[in-house]
Amino acid sequence: MVEKIQRVAQEIEAAQIGNAAELEQFRIAYIGRKGAIASLFDDLKQVAPEQRRQVGQELNQLKNLAQARFDQAQEQLSSTTAGTATEAAFDFTLPPVPNTLGTRHPLSLVRSEIVRIFERIGFNVADGPEIEDDWHNFTALNFPENHPAREMQDTFFLSEDRDKLLRTHTSNVQVRLMENQKPPLRSIMPGRVYRNEAISARAHMMFHQVEGLYVNKGVSFKDLKETLYYFAKEMFGQDTRIRFRPSFFPFTEPSAEIDISCFICKGEGCNICKQSGWVEIGGAGMVDPNVLSNCGIDPEVYSGFAFGMGIERITMLKYQIRDLRLFTENDVRFLRQFKGVI
């Protein structure tokens, strides 16, 4: 029995374990339930009682030897495999990749610039819900019952009675501002708006607007013109000219379309301005007295002006972008063009 133990000990010390398969073979041959050491323990009952204690101690030493040999080989294989995997996962011959900064979306850039321009002349930023009711989106703004904007082909209604809808402009924020605060009021309202339109290079069902409102005693159309003159020169350059064309909006009277001189051709005519020398950027006018009354403001005491512009429109003009769909397609080739802009 002692000779068998010594022979197995020599085999354990001489065993070659160079890979996972050989390690598993070693475990089965010596440590497993049917291995050599388990077989020797089974033979222990055949040993004479007076020798059984000594032989049992040698068997325990043999078992510890086999377990230590197994643990050592397993640790060596694990460290070797980890090192190989790390080296294989990284190719040290590759050129270094420089750290690059992310880019801001062009609409975010222009929106931030618009906010900064108006903040310098005393306007703060107001916000409101995108899911709106009929009163704040239409009725309070002097829209008649039969106005085309109330039809299904123009508005996303969310209820059968058409009282819940996705706002079609940020003018709803103007109504809520006038209802909840007393004049003087001087705010701009940037945000998303929704209209039921087919998506094309020049139109989208979701886009961004910025509207402005100033209500106080003695506000005149001259104040509106000076405000928009300042904005146009700050946004598009000091050589920019601005003109107002008579128009109609339910919530302003008088109303006007806002045009700026084309900063691409300097008024000489190009494909951006359709050879006219002018490009439209929005609409404006004096707040209709009915709107002031609807919001609880006395039109005999206060007057005000309002204006609205599409942020996509301004962005397309500023960066000469010709397709509105580029703003929502998330194409990194398009977005990377603005990485140098802050």
Which pLDDT value is given to residue 36? 82
Query: Is 137 among the domain residues?
Result: yes
Bigger pLDDT: 145 vs 175? 175
Residue 157 DSSP class: B
Best-predicted range by mean pLDDT (11-15, 70-74, 280-284)? 280-284
Task: Supply the DSSP string of 214-240, one letter for each residue.
Answer: EEETT--HHHHHHHHHHHHHHHH-TT-
**Mean pLDDT (whole number) for 258-285:** 81
Query: Is 37 among the domain residues?
Result: yes
Bigger pLDDT: 46 vs 130? 130
In a shared domain, residues 41 and 117: no
Domain that holds residue 71: 2-89
Task: Encode pLDDT of 44-80 as tens digits.
Answer: 777 787 777 787 788 788 788 888 888 888 888 877 6
Task: Encode pLDDT of 312-332 as tens digits.
Answer: 989 988 888 888 899 998 888
Give the integer Cα–Cα distance in Å for 279 and 259.
Answer: 5
Query: Is 266 among the domain residues?
Result: yes
In a shared domain, residues 176 and 291: yes
pTM comes to 0.68
Which pLDDT value is given to residue 95? 85
Residues near 157 by beta carbon (within 8 Å), at least 6 away in sequence: 164, 165
Angle at 69 between CA 65 and CA 71, to 5 degrees: 115
In a shared domain, residues 155 and 28: no
Query: Is 221 among the domain residues?
Result: yes
Which pLDDT value is given to residue 226? 95
In a shared domain, residues 193 and 327: yes
- Structure tokens, 141: 């703004």
Say which CATH number the domain at 182 has: 3.30.930.10
In a shared domain, residues 32 and 167: no
**Mean pLDDT (whole number) for 203-227:** 95
Number of domains within the chain: 2
In a shared domain, residues 207 and 60: no
Q: Could you say which of 62, 89, 116 is where a domain stops? A: 89
Question: What percent of the chain has a predicted confidence (pLDDT) above 70?
Answer: 93
* E-state strands within the chain: 124-125, 131-133, 164-166, 185-194, 206-216, 242-249, 252-261, 278-287, 303-310
Query: Is 74 among the domain residues?
Result: yes
Binding site per annotation, positions: 253
Give 340's pLDDT tier (boundaries 50, 70, 90). low
Which pLDDT value is given to residue 203? 85
Binding site per annotation, positions for Mg(2+): 253
How far CA 90 is from CA of 82, 87, 94, 263, 317, in Å, comes to: 13, 6, 9, 51, 46
Which pLDDT value is given to residue 316? 87
Q: Could you say which of 58, 89, 120 is where a domain stops? A: 89
Range with the poorest average pLDDT among 1-15, 175-189, 201-215, 311-325: 1-15
In a shared domain, residues 237 and 288: yes
Residues near 202 by beta carbon (within 8 Å), at least 6 away in sequence: 324
Best-predicted range by mean pLDDT (53-57, 83-87, 178-182, 260-264)? 178-182
Bigger pLDDT: 209 vs 341? 209
Query: Is 99 among the domain residues?
Result: no
Which pLDDT value is given to residue 301? 96
In a shared domain, residues 29 and 142: no
Query: Is 12 among the domain residues?
Result: yes
Query: Is 97 among the domain residues?
Result: no
In a shared domain, residues 73 and 114: no
Give 222's pLDDT tier (boundaries 50, 70, 90). very high
